[in-house]
Amino acid sequence: MGDMANSSIEFHPKPQQQREAPHAGGFGCTLAELRSLMELRGAEALQKVQEAYGDVSGLCRRLKTSPTEGLADNANDLEKRRQIYGQNFIPPKQPKTFLQLVWEALQDVTLIILEVAAIVSLGLSFYAPPGEESEACGNVSAGAEDEGEAEAGWIEGAAILLSVICVVLVTAFNDWSKEKQFRGLQSRIEQEQKFTVIRNGQLLQVPVAALVVGDIAQVKYGDLLPADGVLIQGNDLKIDESSLTGESDHVRKSADKDPMLLSGTHVMEGSGRMVVTAVGVNSQTGIIFTLLGAGGEEEEKKDKKGKQQDGAMESSQTKAKKQDGAVAMEMQPLKSAEGGEMEEREKKKASVPKKEKSVLQGKLTKLAVQIGKAGLVMSAITVIILVLYFVIETFVVKGKVWQAECTPVYVQYFVKFFIIGVTVLVVAVPEGLPLAVTISLAYSVKKMMKDNNLVRHLDACETMGNATAICSDKTGTLTTNRMTVVQSYLGDTHYKEIPAPSALTPKILDLLVHAISINSAYTSKILPPEKEGALPRQVGNKTECALLGFVLDLKRDFQPVRERIPEDKLYKVYTFNSVRKSMSTVICMPDGGFRLFSKGASEILLKKCTNILNSNGELRSFRPRDRDDMVKKIIEPMACDGLRTICIAYRDFSAAQEPDWENENEVVGDLTCIAIVGIEDPVRPEVPEAIRKCQRAGITVRMVTGDNINTARAIAAKCGIIQPGEDFLCLEGKEFNRRIRNEKGEIEQERLDKVWPKLRVLARSSPTDKHTLVKGIIDSTTGEQRQVVAVTGDGTNDGPALKKADVGFAMGIAGTDVAKEASDIILTDDNFTSIVKAVMWGRNVYDSISKFLQFQLTVNVVAVIVAFTGACITQDSPLKAVQMLWVNLIMDTFASLALATEPPTDSLLLRKPYGRDKPLISRTMMKNILGHAVYQLTIIFTLLFVGELFFDIDSGRNAPLHSPPSEHYTIIFNTFVMMQLFNEINARKIHGERNVFHGIFGNPIFCTIVLGTFAIQIVIVQFGGKPFSCSPLSTEQWLWCLFVGVGELVWGQVIATIPTSQLKCLKEAGHGPGKDEMTDEELAEGEEEIDHAERELRRGQILWFRGLNRIQTQPPASTVATSSQPPAGSTSPCSARAPPAPPSTPSPV
């Protein structure tokens, strides 16, 4: 990767060398010329093109390409262009190396404390005090066999270090594989992005990375431009350049005014052709990338190493590049914030207000802080009690005097106490939590790929489990997006099927064929089927394909018409957009006049018609009264059959009366209607069942479409979104706006709250309506829960709604690049049923984490209490530091693997969503945690205090320092682990189900881990010896340990019998942070939150740093850790300090 960063610098050598090199390549433009050309805008750029090349076709000649035919698809030529002008590839930032990740994992505070303790313990164990006095220093150890044992004092320290290394390696490996997965996902998204170019006169879809300078690329509505270029010919082209300039207004581009198209900008309207002039690191986006990425890295390297082998050369290059960058910066009015954004652009534009912390993250962070605090308190108390007990026992009761030579011995005792304290803390803090979240999410994301969900942001997958509302598009998501014309109204006759060509007057037929063939994007066409007997392939806009199909059904062909009037002969094109809801094209007639063809939504276009063609193909006037008749008799019946109605019209202008073409309202008016067609887009057969599942799962499905209200209502009824007899609303965009806006035209949340709960269909809606609806539902405070909204979108204009939603789904097939860029999940098959799968996986993630928590917290409660009481009563924790770490490893790392990979079941869709305020640990789970803790503690304390009598062995209590491991304590350790293993099986169910074995063999990972842990436990007990403080056990003792372990399963049944509703005293834990409970630092943190993708990769560490920082910086009065939320009216002390949230952003939940 490093050399790639360097190569990106070597792409632009010093000007003198450049001059010679490219001319040797035989092209008439150098890289430097093209780069400087692309830095100009508007009139300047146009002037430069004219001065240097004459016009754009002159530039094409210099680049040895044809504006109409494109490049010859010749591998050598393409390779040569790549060598001279660079590849269309921006080297990504280097991933972190494994060692860097290990170093990051070592930053964990608890691990650092342990390392320090272990090193101190090691150091002291090597210091042997003079022998005679040692007796006077207290009972170090007694007995003859101690000579060897005293030497073995180093083992404990070494073992702790070893287990720390294990934990660190596991964490680092996890992060590493996660980053690798994420990069794989990233590159898959990038590979899927293709772009249309013309080579050898053929339209080809090539991967974006294969574009070369000199390629002729087709740009159309919704594209994200992959390279810089100069426009050759454009129709009504408007570009959103905000990603480069920060200006939100769309820039109008045309070959004669502003022909410069820049990479990374979005096509918002229109279409055109451009010649590619700069790719990869030489494009405008690439220059900024190099300034950020490679430039920064070079500087860093030099700072660190000071002297690199080729330092001098490199720094001169870097300087050159920096100056180069400075030019780029000057010519680009870059906002400071944009710097970072460009870097993240591949992942996601960061320019939007960041989404709130995902539901789960909020709850987990809070829970982690609570547990961390409890653990700190417990460990501190443990250490204090141990130290006091020892000091009083030694110096007060036995009346010894502190002697200088005894100091190391006493310090050794204190270190031992410190290690016990730290161990309590380590066990109390569930480090496995971030691990479980990560594993669960990563596993789900991998599996969701198979279910046609390409997840771009990991937490979207879990948010989806909480979704309460889905706002879906109609076309392509609920329907098959294979459109066909099934009814038509031509020459005063309503045809219920395709008319015979002979039934139509030649004039009407001819006008219709021309109107459809010319007035549709030339990229839309119908190709012969791939297989025998299959349907013809529709390429391009599906509505236009339906109309072209209609032409073919009338036994005519659209191709000859297009060949006669190629795209560059079109005089003026008004492309389709969501405001016009129509498209019009003007052509020149042989007599010098003009003809305008128009097509669009029938009720909109009919208002502009003043004439209609009768059965003989002659004009007859078309008055408002006729229009109302037509709507009632033709359009509404078609719409009620679920058809989309399109009107096709034309208008002639004589040579004398050429209008002002910019005044669109005047041009597209006074039309003559040729035909009305009804287009059918059948509902996908699997959708009604999927919608039923959603409704059962407590998710409201709403349809938001640009279609006619009758069509929308008919389709909604077919899908089951609306059912007869229900109280629902179907509104058109206009009516919706009238209801939610006040007299001043401002949107009022109270008005919106009256509309959205019953709204099921929003028809004839504009993208702003969609955004308004989504924002209104999210900001609403009427229900007891804040709504979690998922939105589907495919068009460029859906971007804002996709960004605003909690989860945005973009269509993988029909979706534009802009929509994909704004989304969280891409549906690779455009199918609504995949959304239901996403809900299932999301709920599964949530449940997996609850299962893990239920298991983990039982272990924590028991281990902490045992270590604490044991230490206070017997001066020594029954579970040694190394054993605790092993317990921690199986309970955290392995259990998170085992429980986080449970596959989802259909039963997940039978319950309502949890919602944002529902705590992570429900009453039932609390009952399970405490119930199992009671059982385990009873057993362990029984063994601790009367175990030696039961098994008839020596007591392990009050053993001196460095004494050999006792069977007594080994039995306690072994029993403890056995109980955890069987409780892991109990933890598979969190809703109080009886059969905990249900589906256990469906999860091979779980079975492997449980059996594996069991096998390792046998090895540790039988052969662990001194490092694990274990002494081998007999078969009988093993059977007793197992028997007690199996008792866990029986006890689980007993707990399941107790009705949770009776246990009012149980508190729930892990609520989402309340509205008033955000501290200053959290709000600040929220504002500068990094991109989701990056954040995901480090979420584990962040969670803990955040938790520990918070523990250190929290004022004692703060209520952040209270598990129950303050009542609605009250505010917690934090809210006094928290700045009020600006009204436009949703309140932080």
Is residue 304 within 8 Å of 264, Cβ to Cβ? no
- At residue 1015, the 3 state secondary structure works out as helix
Angstrom CA distances, 1066 to 161, 923, 929, 930, 1124, stand at: 39, 6, 11, 9, 12
Q: What are phi and psi of 519, to 5 degrees?
A: -90, 50
Tokens of 613: 């063609």
Contact 893, 968 (CB under 8 A): no
Q: How far is CA 118 from CA 159, 417, 420, 961, 1027, in A?
A: 8, 12, 11, 16, 13
Helices (H) and strands (E) in the chain, counts: 43, 26
DSSP code per residue over 478-509: TB----EEEEEEETTEEESSPPPGGGS-HHHH
C-alpha closest to that of 951 among 1040, 1015, 1043, 1016: 1040
- Residue 947: closest CA among 1013, 1026, 1046, 1044: 1044
Coarse DSSP helix, strand, coil percentages of the chain, rounded to the nearest 5 percent: 55, 15, 30
Does residue 847 carry a catalytic annotation?
Answer: no
**What CA–CA distance (Å, rounded) separates 792 from 815?**
10
Scanning the structure block, which residue is given the tokens 């789970």?
925
- Nearest CA to 337 out of 1088, 1141, 1148 is that of 1088
Angle in degrees, CA 1028, 1032, 1038, rounded to 5: 110
Contact 961, 140 (CB under 8 A): yes
Assigned token pair, 1122: 């209270």
Helix segments in 306-431, DSSP class H = 311-331, 336-344, 359-391, 407-428
Token pair for 898? 């085992």
Q: Is 321 exposed, middle or buried (0-12, 13-18, 19+ CB in 10 A)?
A: buried
Residue 560 CB contacts under 8 Å (≥ 6 apart), including other chains: none
Written as six digits, the tokens of 1057 are 């019998």
Rounded Cα distance, 494 and 645, in Å: 13
Which phi-psi region, left, alpha or beta, contains residue 809 (left: φ > 0; alpha: ψ -120 to 50)?
Answer: beta
Q: Which of 223, 473, 707, 876 is catalytic?
A: 473
| Distance of alpha carbon 920 from alpha carbon 1069, whole angstroms | 6
| Alpha carbons 630 and 635: distance in angstroms, whole number | 7
Q: 291 with 331: CB under 8 angstroms?
A: no
Q: For residue 512, what are the contacts with CB-CB under 8 A and spacing of at least 6?
A: 490, 504, 551, 554, 648, 674, 675
Rounded CA-CA distance 122/116 in Å is 10
Catalogue the long-range contacts made by 953-957 (C-beta closer than 8 Å, 24 or more residues apart).
956/878, 957/874, 957/876
Q: How big is the chain, counted in residues? A: 1149
For residue 130, give the 3-state DSSP assignment. Answer: coil
- Please calculate the CA angle 723-727-729 and round it to the nearest 5 degrees: 90
What Å distances lie between residue 501 and 151, 399, 490, 554, CA to CA? 104, 118, 11, 5
CA-nearest of 222, 278, 226 to 796 is 222
Q: Which residues are catalytic?
A: 473
